[in-house]
A and B are shown apart, each in its own frame.
Chain A
Amino acid sequence: QVQLVESGGGLVKPGGSLRLSCAASGFTFSDYYMSWIRQAPGKGLEWVSYISSSGGTIYYAGSVKGRFTISRDNAKNSLYLQMNSLRAEDTAVYYCARGVYNSGWYPYYFDYWGQGTLVTVSS
Chain B
Amino acid sequence: DIQMTQSPSSVSASVGDRVTITCRASQGISSWLAWYQQKPGKAPNLLIYGASSLQSGVPSRFSGSGSGTDFTLTISSLQPEDFATYYCQQANSFPLTFGQGTRLEIK
Tell me the minimal C-beta distance from B98 to chain A in angstroms. Answer: 4
Q: How far is the CA of A113 from the CA of B38 in the complex (A)?
A: 11
Most chain B beta-carbon contacts within 10 A, residue among A100, A109, A110: A109
Q: Is the CB of B49 within 8 A of A100?
A: yes
A contact face: mostly helix, strand, loop, or mixed: strand
B contact face: mostly helix, strand, loop, or mixed: loop
Of the listed stretches B10-18, B61-69, B87-95, chain A binds: B87-95
Q: How far is the CA of A68 from the CA of B101 in the complex (A)?
A: 26
Interface residues in A92-108 by Cβ distance below 8 A to B read 95, 97, 100, 102, 106, 108
Tell me the minimal C-beta distance from A38 to chain B in angstroms. Answer: 11
Q: Is the CB of B44 within 8 A of A108?
A: no
Q: In the assembled complex, which residues on chain B have CB atoms less than 8 Å from the CB atom of A27?
A: none
Chain B residues at the A interface, C-beta cutoff of 8 Å: 1, 32, 34, 36, 38, 43-46, 49-50, 53, 55-56, 87, 89, 91, 94-101
